[in-house]
Amino acid sequence: MKNIADIRKEYTKGALEPNEMGDDPLTEFRGWFQQAIDSQVLEPNAMILGTVNAEHRPSSRVVLLKEITTEGIVFFTNYNSRKGRELLENPFVSAVFFWAELERQVRVEGRVRKISEADSDAYFYSRPRISQAGAVVSNQSEVISGREDLDAQMVALMADESIEIARPEHWGGYEIVVYGMEFWQGRPGRVHDRARYQKVESAWVKTRLSP
Ligand SMILES: Cc1cc2nc3c(=O)[nH]c(=O)nc-3n(C[C@H](O)[C@H](O)[C@H](O)COP(=O)(O)O)c2cc1C
Protein backbone atom coordinates (compact mmCIF):
# COMPACT_ATOMS: atom_id res chain seq x y z
CA MET A 1 0.00 0.00 0.00
CA LYS A 2 1.08 3.53 -0.71
CA ASN A 3 2.33 5.40 2.34
CA ILE A 4 -0.77 7.26 3.53
CA ALA A 5 1.34 10.24 4.56
CA ASP A 6 2.43 10.61 0.92
CA ILE A 7 -1.12 11.05 -0.38
CA ARG A 8 -1.43 14.73 -1.21
CA LYS A 9 -3.21 16.96 -3.69
CA GLU A 10 -2.81 20.60 -4.58
CA TYR A 11 -6.04 22.58 -4.74
CA THR A 12 -6.10 24.78 -7.83
CA LYS A 13 -9.71 24.97 -9.02
CA GLY A 14 -10.94 28.23 -7.61
CA ALA A 15 -10.72 31.19 -5.31
CA LEU A 16 -13.09 32.88 -2.92
CA GLU A 17 -13.37 36.60 -2.19
CA PRO A 18 -15.55 37.09 0.91
CA ASN A 19 -16.08 40.78 0.03
CA GLU A 20 -17.77 39.69 -3.19
CA MET A 21 -20.12 37.29 -1.44
CA GLY A 22 -23.69 38.28 -0.57
CA ASP A 23 -25.06 39.09 2.87
CA ASP A 24 -27.14 35.93 3.29
CA PRO A 25 -25.26 32.61 3.57
CA LEU A 26 -28.27 30.51 2.59
CA THR A 27 -28.58 32.40 -0.68
CA GLU A 28 -24.86 31.90 -1.18
CA PHE A 29 -25.26 28.20 -0.36
CA ARG A 30 -27.98 27.83 -3.01
CA GLY A 31 -25.53 29.16 -5.58
CA TRP A 32 -22.78 26.82 -4.46
CA PHE A 33 -25.20 23.91 -4.43
CA GLN A 34 -26.24 24.62 -8.02
CA GLN A 35 -22.56 24.76 -9.01
CA ALA A 36 -22.04 21.38 -7.31
CA ILE A 37 -24.90 19.94 -9.36
CA ASP A 38 -23.60 21.54 -12.57
CA SER A 39 -20.13 20.13 -11.85
CA GLN A 40 -21.62 16.64 -11.43
CA VAL A 41 -20.39 16.28 -7.87
CA LEU A 42 -21.13 12.73 -6.74
CA GLU A 43 -23.99 12.97 -4.20
CA PRO A 44 -23.78 16.74 -3.72
CA ASN A 45 -26.55 16.57 -1.11
CA ALA A 46 -24.68 14.15 1.17
CA MET A 47 -23.65 15.91 4.38
CA ILE A 48 -21.97 14.69 7.52
CA LEU A 49 -24.19 15.48 10.46
CA GLY A 50 -22.68 15.78 13.92
CA THR A 51 -24.73 15.48 17.10
CA VAL A 52 -23.64 15.66 20.74
CA ASN A 53 -25.39 13.62 23.41
CA ALA A 54 -26.16 14.54 27.01
CA GLU A 55 -22.72 13.25 28.08
CA HIS A 56 -21.12 15.72 25.61
CA ARG A 57 -20.01 12.86 23.34
CA PRO A 58 -20.18 13.68 19.63
CA SER A 59 -21.18 11.26 16.86
CA SER A 60 -21.40 11.74 13.10
CA ARG A 61 -23.09 10.12 10.15
CA VAL A 62 -24.06 10.98 6.58
CA VAL A 63 -27.59 12.19 5.83
CA LEU A 64 -29.06 13.72 2.69
CA LEU A 65 -30.00 17.36 2.30
CA LYS A 66 -33.51 17.58 0.93
CA GLU A 67 -34.36 21.28 1.03
CA ILE A 68 -32.74 24.67 1.49
CA THR A 69 -35.10 27.05 3.31
CA THR A 70 -34.72 30.74 4.09
CA GLU A 71 -33.51 29.87 7.59
CA GLY A 72 -31.72 26.59 7.15
CA ILE A 73 -31.49 23.14 5.63
CA VAL A 74 -33.70 20.05 5.92
CA PHE A 75 -32.96 16.33 6.20
CA PHE A 76 -35.15 13.31 6.93
CA THR A 77 -34.66 10.46 9.32
CA ASN A 78 -36.15 8.19 11.97
CA TYR A 79 -36.92 10.30 15.06
CA ASN A 80 -36.25 7.25 17.29
CA SER A 81 -32.80 6.59 15.84
CA ARG A 82 -29.63 7.26 17.76
CA LYS A 83 -29.39 10.71 16.16
CA GLY A 84 -33.06 11.35 16.94
CA ARG A 85 -32.52 10.46 20.58
CA GLU A 86 -29.41 12.61 20.75
CA LEU A 87 -31.26 15.52 19.19
CA LEU A 88 -33.88 15.29 21.94
CA GLU A 89 -31.09 15.63 24.50
CA ASN A 90 -29.28 18.37 22.60
CA PRO A 91 -30.69 20.09 19.50
CA PHE A 92 -27.40 21.73 18.47
CA VAL A 93 -25.72 20.18 15.42
CA SER A 94 -22.98 20.64 12.91
CA ALA A 95 -23.06 19.55 9.29
CA VAL A 96 -20.40 19.51 6.63
CA PHE A 97 -20.46 19.11 2.87
CA PHE A 98 -17.22 18.16 1.07
CA TRP A 99 -17.32 18.57 -2.69
CA ALA A 100 -13.98 17.11 -3.81
CA GLU A 101 -14.67 17.83 -7.48
CA LEU A 102 -14.82 21.55 -6.66
CA GLU A 103 -12.22 21.47 -3.86
CA ARG A 104 -14.88 23.00 -1.64
CA GLN A 105 -16.22 22.52 1.86
CA VAL A 106 -19.26 24.09 3.49
CA ARG A 107 -19.62 23.96 7.27
CA VAL A 108 -22.97 24.48 8.95
CA GLU A 109 -23.87 25.07 12.61
CA GLY A 110 -27.38 25.30 13.90
CA ARG A 111 -30.21 24.10 16.06
CA VAL A 112 -32.71 21.53 14.81
CA ARG A 113 -36.47 21.65 14.95
CA LYS A 114 -38.88 19.08 13.57
CA ILE A 115 -40.62 20.22 10.40
CA SER A 116 -44.44 20.07 10.30
CA GLU A 117 -46.19 16.71 9.90
CA ALA A 118 -47.70 18.04 6.67
CA ASP A 119 -44.25 18.76 5.27
CA SER A 120 -42.97 15.34 6.36
CA ASP A 121 -46.02 13.77 4.69
CA ALA A 122 -45.41 15.72 1.49
CA TYR A 123 -41.87 14.40 1.21
CA PHE A 124 -42.66 10.86 2.40
CA TYR A 125 -45.43 10.40 -0.16
CA SER A 126 -43.17 11.73 -2.92
CA ARG A 127 -40.66 8.94 -2.30
CA PRO A 128 -40.51 5.70 -4.27
CA ARG A 129 -42.58 2.93 -2.66
CA ILE A 130 -39.45 0.94 -1.84
CA SER A 131 -38.06 3.83 0.21
CA GLN A 132 -41.40 4.24 2.00
CA ALA A 133 -41.32 0.52 2.82
CA GLY A 134 -37.74 0.82 4.04
CA ALA A 135 -38.73 3.57 6.46
CA VAL A 136 -41.53 1.35 7.81
CA VAL A 137 -39.49 -1.81 8.36
CA SER A 138 -36.45 -0.23 9.99
CA ASN A 139 -36.28 0.51 13.70
CA GLN A 140 -33.24 2.55 12.83
CA SER A 141 -30.25 2.13 15.15
CA GLU A 142 -31.75 -0.83 17.10
CA VAL A 143 -29.67 -4.02 17.42
CA ILE A 144 -31.04 -6.87 15.26
CA SER A 145 -29.94 -10.49 14.88
CA GLY A 146 -30.16 -10.68 11.09
CA ARG A 147 -31.89 -9.19 8.06
CA GLU A 148 -34.44 -11.96 7.44
CA ASP A 149 -37.29 -10.14 9.20
CA LEU A 150 -36.50 -6.94 7.33
CA ASP A 151 -36.45 -8.74 3.97
CA ALA A 152 -39.70 -10.56 4.72
CA GLN A 153 -41.45 -7.34 5.71
CA MET A 154 -40.17 -5.62 2.58
CA VAL A 155 -41.53 -8.40 0.37
CA ALA A 156 -44.91 -8.15 2.10
CA LEU A 157 -45.08 -4.36 1.77
CA MET A 158 -43.99 -4.37 -1.86
CA ALA A 159 -46.44 -7.15 -2.82
CA ASP A 160 -49.65 -5.12 -3.18
CA GLU A 161 -49.16 -1.71 -4.70
CA SER A 162 -52.82 -0.83 -4.19
CA ILE A 163 -52.25 -0.59 -0.43
CA GLU A 164 -50.78 2.78 0.51
CA ILE A 165 -47.81 2.73 2.85
CA ALA A 166 -48.45 5.28 5.60
CA ARG A 167 -45.68 7.47 6.94
CA PRO A 168 -44.66 6.18 10.36
CA GLU A 169 -45.15 8.88 13.02
CA HIS A 170 -41.51 8.47 14.02
CA TRP A 171 -40.20 9.24 10.53
CA GLY A 172 -39.88 12.81 9.32
CA GLY A 173 -37.81 15.88 8.73
CA TYR A 174 -35.62 18.14 10.79
CA GLU A 175 -34.75 21.67 9.80
CA ILE A 176 -31.33 22.84 10.92
CA VAL A 177 -31.95 26.51 11.69
CA VAL A 178 -28.54 27.88 10.85
CA TYR A 179 -26.60 30.37 12.97
CA GLY A 180 -23.15 29.76 11.47
CA MET A 181 -21.91 28.84 8.03
CA GLU A 182 -18.47 28.71 6.47
CA PHE A 183 -17.50 28.49 2.81
CA TRP A 184 -14.06 27.03 2.08
CA GLN A 185 -12.20 26.93 -1.20
CA GLY A 186 -8.96 24.96 -1.44
CA ARG A 187 -5.97 26.97 -2.69
CA PRO A 188 -2.37 26.07 -3.58
CA GLY A 189 0.11 25.58 -0.76
CA ARG A 190 -2.74 25.08 1.73
CA VAL A 191 -3.33 28.84 1.78
CA HIS A 192 -7.05 28.34 1.40
CA ASP A 193 -9.87 30.90 1.29
CA ARG A 194 -12.47 30.86 4.05
CA ALA A 195 -15.56 33.01 4.45
CA ARG A 196 -17.49 32.68 7.69
CA TYR A 197 -21.01 33.93 8.39
CA GLN A 198 -22.21 34.20 11.97
CA LYS A 199 -25.63 35.29 13.09
CA VAL A 200 -25.35 38.05 15.66
CA GLU A 201 -28.81 38.81 17.03
CA SER A 202 -30.78 38.81 13.79
CA ALA A 203 -28.05 39.99 11.39
CA TRP A 204 -25.39 38.04 9.52
CA VAL A 205 -21.79 39.06 10.09
CA LYS A 206 -19.30 37.96 7.45
CA THR A 207 -15.56 37.58 8.06
CA ARG A 208 -12.54 36.09 6.33
CA LEU A 209 -10.68 33.43 8.30
CA SER A 210 -7.04 32.45 8.08
CA PRO A 211 -6.63 29.09 6.35
C1 LIG B 1 -24.78 8.58 1.28
C2 LIG B 1 -25.61 8.29 2.51
C3 LIG B 1 -26.84 8.91 2.68
C4 LIG B 1 -27.60 8.69 3.81
N5 LIG B 1 -28.76 9.39 3.98
C6 LIG B 1 -29.48 9.23 5.13
C7 LIG B 1 -30.60 10.05 5.37
O8 LIG B 1 -30.98 10.95 4.60
N9 LIG B 1 -31.30 9.83 6.52
C10 LIG B 1 -30.91 8.87 7.44
O11 LIG B 1 -31.58 8.72 8.45
N12 LIG B 1 -29.82 8.12 7.24
C13 LIG B 1 -29.08 8.28 6.11
N14 LIG B 1 -27.94 7.53 5.90
C15 LIG B 1 -27.57 6.54 6.94
C16 LIG B 1 -26.88 7.26 8.10
O17 LIG B 1 -25.54 7.57 7.76
C18 LIG B 1 -26.89 6.41 9.40
O19 LIG B 1 -26.35 5.14 9.15
C20 LIG B 1 -28.29 6.24 9.96
O21 LIG B 1 -29.07 7.43 9.84
C22 LIG B 1 -28.25 5.82 11.42
O23 LIG B 1 -27.55 6.81 12.16
P24 LIG B 1 -27.73 6.92 13.75
O25 LIG B 1 -27.66 5.51 14.30
O26 LIG B 1 -26.61 7.77 14.23
O27 LIG B 1 -29.08 7.54 14.02
C28 LIG B 1 -27.15 7.77 4.80
C29 LIG B 1 -25.89 7.16 4.64
C30 LIG B 1 -25.14 7.43 3.53
C31 LIG B 1 -23.75 6.81 3.42
- Measured from the Cβ of residue 159, the count of other Cβ atoms closer than 10 Å reads 8
Work out how many domains the chain is built from and give that number.
2
* 119 and 130 inside one domain: no
Q: Is residue 84 part of a domain?
A: yes
d(CA 18, CA 194): 8
* 29 and 120 inside one domain: yes
Q: Is residue 4 part of a domain?
A: no
* 62 and 15 inside one domain: yes
Closest ligand 1 atom, CA of 81? 27
Catalytic residue among 104, 107, 190, 196: 190
Cβ of residue 191 lying under 6 Å from some atom of ligand 1? no
* 19 and 116 inside one domain: yes
Kindly report, residue by residue over 96-118, the tens digit of the pLDDT: 999 999 999 999 999 999 999 99
Active site residue 190: yes
Report yes or no: 75 and 65 within 8 Å, Cβ to Cβ: yes
The pLDDT of residue 88:
98
* 67 and 133 inside one domain: no
Average pLDDT over residues 120-139: 98
Measured by CA distance, the residue closest to atom 31 of ligand 1 is 62
Kindly report, residue by residue over 56-72, the tens digit of the pLDDT: 999 999 999 999 999 99
Q: Is residue 5 part of a domain?
A: no
Measured by CA distance, the residue closest to atom 12 of ligand 1 is 63
* 152 and 174 inside one domain: no
Closest ligand 1 atom, CA of 77? 11
* 52 and 95 inside one domain: yes
Q: Is residue 34 part of a domain?
A: yes
Report yes or no: 175 and 72 within 8 Å, Cβ to Cβ: yes
Confidence bin at 19 (pLDDT 50/70/90) = very high
Cβ of residue 174 lying under 6 Å from some atom of ligand 1? no
* 22 and 102 inside one domain: yes
d(CA 34, CA 38): 6
* Residue 163 exposure: Cα atoms within 13 Å on the Cβ side: 7
* 117 and 141 inside one domain: no
Q: Which residues of 53-92 are buried (b: 16+ CB within 10 A; e: fewer)?
A: beeeeeeeeebebeebeeebbbbbbbbbbbbbebbeebbe
* 97 and 186 inside one domain: yes
* 83 and 59 inside one domain: yes
pTM of the complete model: 0.97
Q: Is residue 2 part of a domain?
A: no
Kindly report, residue by residue over 21-49, the tens digit of the pLDDT: 999 999 999 999 999 999 999 999 999 99
Measured by CA distance, the residue closest to atom 5 of ligand 1 is 63
CATH code at position 87: 2.30.110.10
What is the 207 CA–ligand 1 centroid distance (Å)?
Answer: 32
Ligand 1 pocket test, candidate residues 57, 65, 74, 77, most atoms within 8 A of CB? 77
* 33 and 77 inside one domain: yes
State the residue range of the domain holding 162.
126-166
Report how far apart, in Å, the C-alpha atoms of 153 and of each of 111, 133, 135, 148 are: 35, 8, 11, 9
The pLDDT of residue 51:
98
